[in-house]
Structure 1
Amino acid sequence: MTIGTEARRPPPPFTLHTLDASSPRTSLEPVLRLSNRIFNTTASEPTHHSSLDEWCARLRQKDSILVYGSTAPDESIDPASADGMPKRGGQVQVQTQAREVVGFVFAVVKTEPALPFPTLHVWLAGVSERARGSGVFAALMSRVQHHARSKGVNGLSVATFPATFGKMYAILLKQGWEAREWKEEGKKVLMIKAI
């Protein structure tokens, strides 16, 4: 190890999933739970961002998409069968832990005067703390860009609060997003990226 560098843990293996208007309502629930945890919605009054009904309504909008990443299920041998020898009726007992949602991007088509053309707008996005810096967000955005292109949409947009989400704002600037319009007395910025 080189002095002055921080050792990074390996990223958790993850799988990407895509939800659309045909997806069952229950498939949104684990993603919404992650969103509510990231944005700490328990500390404030409920908003449209924390409402399952609102998520379902937005997903029904034309060309909307929700992409999320989850870890692979962890399988472990039951400690009673840890030696690999059959126990309890001649079978090795395998326990499977559920997949963990580690990140998501929820995008809807948006048209407004500040935008030069309709965009696929990132309405809400987040990555769990343990998966940040592991490539999850880049993989999610790649899938969203592919979806936008397949629908004939030429750009992405997002609105963010640089004072609150400074790291996200810096990442967006580094990846070629440009500020299009400042709102709410300069606290919120609408950004765009041509694809």
Structure 2
Amino acid sequence: MKTFTKNNLLVALMVFSGAASAFTGNEAHEFTVSGNLQVNPCVIDLPSTIDFGHINVDTLALSSSTSLIAGNTQVYNIQFTQCAENQMAQISVLGTGDSSDPTTLVNAATEESATNIAISFWDVGNAGKKNDVNTGSSAIYNVGQLLNDETSGSIHLQASLVRPTEAVAKPGNIAASAQINITYL
């Protein structure tokens, strides 16, 4: 056991009283605050393919049509989870536009390609508004309010096979590549 002498106690008191006196009085001290506030964007799940199967070329509508023929469409569901309550998002389709109608996606099949065929996209939840490729012309959704069971909700795009011109479509293969761009607002 260590014993304190009078000198040790005096030195200890001087050290403690010196440290304490450094924080007494009316002094202003600056400090900094830092961090990064982020909106927690949604977690999304979406299919990697759209398969039209076999379509009769005689039933294709013009891309300028304002309505869809049900047999030529496939619904593309974008599933959202873990969104903030009022999270807004805009959905756009990006890809190579058809030279005759750049608001549609070109058929890029390289073997036995169908001709005069393109793919258009429609916002099902926006009264069937056409979602023009590469233009950002999409509805703005409150994806936070889409969450029907407070954990998940969907936006439905409808992909449709169309004729970009009045010319007759010729049967063949269909292939295209595109991106879905989700912009959180």
Q: Do they fold alike, i.e. is TM over 0.5?
A: no
Q: State the structure with bigger RCO (CA 8 A, min sep 6), 1 or 2.
A: 2
Which has the larger share of helix?
1
Query: For the pair shown, which has the larger CA radius of gyration, 1 or 2?
Result: 2
Q: TM-score, normalised by structure 1?
A: 0.24
